[in-house]
């Protein structure tokens, strides 16, 4: 009995000693820092607290409120530092780390940290806002790596199209005249470009200095960890299969090369970041394989056109025709599905612009293909020699358009499809709320920009000591994002890219009237 009482008392004393006399836990630092603008996505997110906390929620949310990493119901021993791994190849855009933790005093604390990856342009009508620093990218060579990535991507895709697509033509349709050697020569070019592309992805992730760091071991270690490496492995396998196809005249190997290339392209980039795992990567794979078939036919057909036998060229073109039509149908179907999927998730902005350019080039290619089918090929089959000139001319235009398509694609894969570059101003959403101590607040929101005006008691201009806002996006479970608005004359402005696409924002405006008085006004902006 005495022992039990003693135990209970001992525990009581221990419990009292353990009850820490801190205020509720607070975030002391975060990596990335709140409001940071990064050239490339971080490998992991770190949140440091002033005391050990138990995480309840730790999520990385994109500008559309979609959770891209982490979740709820996290358990684990209380600790001062929380770490969240960031998915590979995180697309550029604005993100929020939303957290909710329990501090040692059992009180839950929620908060949020926002940061931007890549170049998100300032909201329209900006003028003097100090929150943006576009020089950041160039200081770290981020823009240079992006340009290099686009170029290497273009070279890779062109080499894959001519090499793998051409070898498919060779084995399935026919040989226009000893081009096997030239096609095979494209394969090492494609392989080098693929590997280099993976290295550049690593350099971008590390924000390495351009261009020397491409040789750094660290860059390649990170590259191997990204999805760019998985994609590269698949593509190199495709290249190998294509080489086998040439050596053995094997149709199966050529088809396998196409399949591997499609899968490889779908393993990284926007397809990999999709939330619906089966659909989007499959559509990308089909789209890429079909494009390789179609684009790959240009060089062999051009060689045929420049040969001496018009009828042979015509036969070859006619043999390709069903493949071309099937490839075109598959390409357009997959592209439509991908674009519809993106549109269903919100506007496209700049991404949509480039898509339209690509679509226009595609239409031109289709027009030429139908000209070939209706006019040129029948003439070739009839034995007309000048038809060879027509075919050659058409194919040269085709090649130019094809390179254009690949160039636009290379730019597209580096553009945020989430509409983060939307230049059209979102409709202004206004709310008025009369607050404590006679202050009245008018808040207007346009996209990522929230503008507030304050009127003091009796409508006199308000001159508070300080104004601070706590922003919540209930739809995305983001709570406690603290922002100090910047004062422009009589208005207070917050510009937070991560809020641009939120449909409803709840704002808690804390107005420090004097050292000892605070008025709090809560408004909701949006539906």
Options 255-263, 391-399, 405-413, 515-523: segment touching another protein (CB under 8 A) = 515-523
CA angle 213, 219, 224 (to 5 degrees): 150
If one counts every other C-beta atom within 10 angstroms of the C-beta of residue 213, the result is 17
Which range in 9-17, 251-259, 347-355, 361-369 contacts another protein by CB under 8 A?
9-17
Q: Which stretch binds another protein (CB under 8 A): 7-15, 316-324, 408-416, 444-452?
A: 7-15
Pairing of strands 108-117, 36-38: parallel
Determine, following the binding rule CB under 8 A, whether residue 24 of this chain makes contact with another protein.
Answer: yes
> Which one, 24 or 66, has the nearer CB to another protein?
24
Q: How far apart are CA 446 and CA 495, in angstroms?
A: 10
Residues 6 or more apart whose Cβ sits within 8 Å of residue 11: none
Residues 296-355 that bind another protein (CB under 8 A): none
| 66: three-class secondary structure by DSSP | coil
Q: Token match 């209930």: residue?
A: 474
Nearest CB to another protein, comparing residues 12 and 185:
12
Q: Taking CB under 8 A as the criterion, which residues in 106-135 touch another protein?
A: 106-107
In the complex, minimum distance from the CB of residue 266 to another protein, in angstroms, rounded to a whole number: 47
Distance of closest approach, residue 465 Cβ to another protein, in angstroms = 10
Report the residue number, 14 or 85, with the smaller CB distance to another protein. Answer: 14
Whether cis (ω within 30° of 0) applies to the bond prior to 32 is yes
Task: Return the number of the residue (8 or 329) whose C-beta is nearest another protein.
Answer: 8
Can residue 247 be called a binding residue for another protein (CB under 8 A)?
no
- In the bound state with another protein, the residue whose beta carbon lies nearer, of 80 and 386, is 80
Which residues, listed in sequence order, are joined to residue 494 by a DSSP beta bridge?
450
User: Length of the chain in residues, anyone?
Assistant: 527
Report in angstroms how near the CB of residue 518 gets to another protein at its nearest.
Answer: 5
328 cis-preceded (ω within 30 degrees of 0): no
State the minimum distance, in angstroms, from the CB of residue 500 to another protein: 28
72: tokens are 């709820």
**Minimum CB distance to another protein smaller for 108 or for 526:** 108
Residue 16 C-beta: closest distance to another protein, Å: 7
User: What Rg value do the Cα atoms of the chain yield, rounded?
Assistant: 30
Q: Which two tokens stand for residue 400?
A: 């130019």
- Cβ distance to another protein smaller for residue 51 or 157: 51
For another protein, the closer CB: 371 or 522? 522
Q: Which two tokens stand for residue 460?
A: 């006199």
Q: Residue 222 has which token pair?
A: 């990170």
Binding residue (CB under 8 A) for another protein from 23, 329, 432, 434:
23
Residue choice 40, 53, 82, 104 for contact with another protein (CB under 8 A): 104
Count helices and strands in the chain by DSSP H and E runs: 14, 16
Site track for another protein across 494-513, x = CB under 8 A:
------------------x-
Decide: is 433 part of the binding site for another protein (CB under 8 A): no
Among the listed ranges 10-18, 251-259, 313-321, 453-461, the one in contact with another protein (CB under 8 A) is 10-18
Going by their DSSP bridges, the two strands 67-72 and 44-62 should be labelled as: antiparallel
Q: How far is the CB of 141 from another protein (least distance, A)?
A: 34
517 near another protein, rule: CB under 8 A = yes
- Interatomic CA distance for residues 121 and 420, integer angstroms: 8
Type and span of the H or E element at 30:
strand 27-31
Is residue 48 involved in binding another protein (CB under 8 A)? no
Give Cβ neighbours of residue 192 (< 8 Å, ≥ 6 apart). Answer: none
- Of the residues 46, 68, 87, 105, which one makes contact with another protein according to CB under 8 A: 105
Which range binds another protein by CB under 8 A, 100-108, 150-158, 238-246, 486-494? 100-108
Place of tokens 């409001």: 35
Of 75, 135, 515, 527, which one interacts with another protein (CB under 8 A)? 515
CA–CA dist 426, 446 (Å, integer)? 5
As measured in angstroms, the least distance from the Cβ of 490 to another protein is 25
Cβ distance to another protein smaller for residue 26 or 457: 26
In this structure, how many other beta carbons lie within 10 angstroms of the beta carbon of residue 15? 9
Longest dimension (CA), the chain: 114
Q: Per CB under 8 A, which region of 8-16, 123-131, 190-198, 401-409 contacts another protein?
A: 8-16
Residue 484 within binding range of another protein, rule CB under 8 A? no
Say whether residue 520 binds another protein (CB under 8 A): yes
Taking CB under 8 A as the criterion, the residue among 11, 363, 366, 367 binding another protein is: 11
81 makes contact with another protein (CB under 8 A) = no
Q: How far apart are CA 201 and CA 230, in angstroms?
A: 12
Are 379 and 390 in contact by the 8 Å Cβ rule? The answer is: yes
3-class SS of residue 525: strand
Size of the site for another protein (CB under 8 A): 28
**Minimum CB–partner distance for residue 20 and another protein (Å):** 7
**Smallest gap, in angstroms, from Cβ of residue 1 to another protein?**
8
3-state secondary structure of 77: coil
Q: Which residue has 């990596």 as its token pair?
A: 31
List of E strands, 447-490? 449-455, 466-473, 478-483, 486-488
Is there a contact between 104 and 20 (Cβ–Cβ < 8 Å)?
yes
CA dist 368 and 401 (Å) reads: 10
Options 26, 322, 383, 457; binder of another protein; rule CB under 8 A:
26
By CB under 8 A, tell whether 4 contacts another protein.
Answer: yes
Q: Is 2 in the site for another protein (CB under 8 A)?
A: no
Contacts with another protein, residue ranges (CB under 8 A): 4-5, 7-8, 11-12, 15-16, 19-24, 26, 28, 50, 104-107, 436, 512, 515-518, 520
């Amino acid at each position: 009995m005495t022992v039990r009482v003693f135990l209970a008392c001992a525990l009581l004393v221990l419990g009292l000693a353990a009850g820490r006399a801190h205020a509720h836990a607070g975030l002391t630092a975060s990596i990335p820092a709140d409001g940071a603008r990064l050239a490339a996505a971080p490998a992991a997110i770190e949140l440091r607290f002033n005391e050990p906390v138990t995480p309840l929620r730790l999520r990385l949310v994109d500008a559309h409120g979609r959770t891209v990493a982490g979740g709820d119901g996290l358990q684990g021993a209380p600790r001062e530092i929380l770490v969240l791994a960031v998915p590979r190849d995180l697309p550029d855009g604005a993100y929020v780390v939303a957290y909710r933790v329990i501090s040692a005093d059992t009180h839950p604390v929620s908060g949020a940290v926002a940061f931007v990856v890549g170049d998100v342009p300032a909201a329209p009508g900006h003028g003097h806002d100090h929150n943006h620093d576009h020089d950041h990218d160039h200081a770290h060579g981020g823009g240079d790596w992006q340009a290099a990535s686009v170029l290497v991507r273009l070279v890779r895709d062109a080499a894959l199209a001519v090499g793998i697509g051409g070898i498919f033509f060779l084995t399935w349709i026919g040989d226009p005249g000893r081009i096997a050697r030239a096609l095979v020569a494209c394969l090492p070019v494609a392989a080098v470009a693929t590997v280099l592309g993976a290295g550049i992805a690593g350099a971008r992730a590390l924000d390495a200095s351009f261009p020397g760091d491409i040789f750094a071991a660290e860059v390649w270690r990170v590259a191997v960890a990204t999805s760019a490496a998985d994609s590269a492995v698949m593509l190199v396998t495709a290249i190998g299969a294509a080489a086998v196809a040439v050596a053995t005249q094997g149709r199966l190997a050529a088809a396998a090369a196409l399949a591997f290339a499609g899968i490889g392209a779908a393993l990284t980039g926007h397809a990999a970041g999709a939330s619906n795992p089966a659909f989007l990567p499959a559509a990308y794979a089909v789209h890429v394989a079909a494009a390789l078939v179609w684009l790959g036919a240009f060089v062999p057909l051009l060689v045929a056109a420049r040969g001496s036998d018009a009828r042979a060229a015509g036969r070859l073109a006619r043999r390709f025709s069903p493949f071309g039509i099937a490839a075109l149908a598959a390409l357009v179907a997959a592209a439509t599905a991908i674009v519809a999927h993106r549109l269903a998730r919100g506007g496209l902005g700049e991404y949509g612009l480039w898509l339209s350019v690509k679509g226009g080039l595609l239409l031109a290619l289709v027009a030429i293909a139908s000209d070939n089918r209706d006019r040129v090929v029948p003439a070739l089959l009839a034995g007309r020699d000048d038809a060879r000139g027509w075919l050659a001319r058409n194919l040269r235009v085709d090649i130019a358009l094809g390179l254009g398509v690949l160039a636009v694609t290379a730019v597209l894969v580096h553009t945020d499809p989430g509409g983060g570059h939307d230049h059209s101003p979102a409709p202004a959403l206004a709310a008025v709320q009369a607050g404590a101590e006679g202050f009245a607040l008018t808040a207007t929101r346009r996209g990522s920009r929230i503008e507030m005006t304050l009127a003091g008691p009796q409508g006199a201009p308000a001159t508070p000591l300080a104004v601070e806002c706590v922003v919540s996006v209930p739809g995305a479970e983001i709570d406690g994002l603290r922002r100090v608005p910047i004062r422009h004359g009589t208005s207070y402005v917050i510009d937070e890219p991560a809020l641009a696409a939120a449909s409803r924002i709840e704002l808690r405006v804390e107005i420090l009237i004097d050292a000892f008085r605070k008025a709090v006004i809560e408004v909701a902006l949006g539906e």
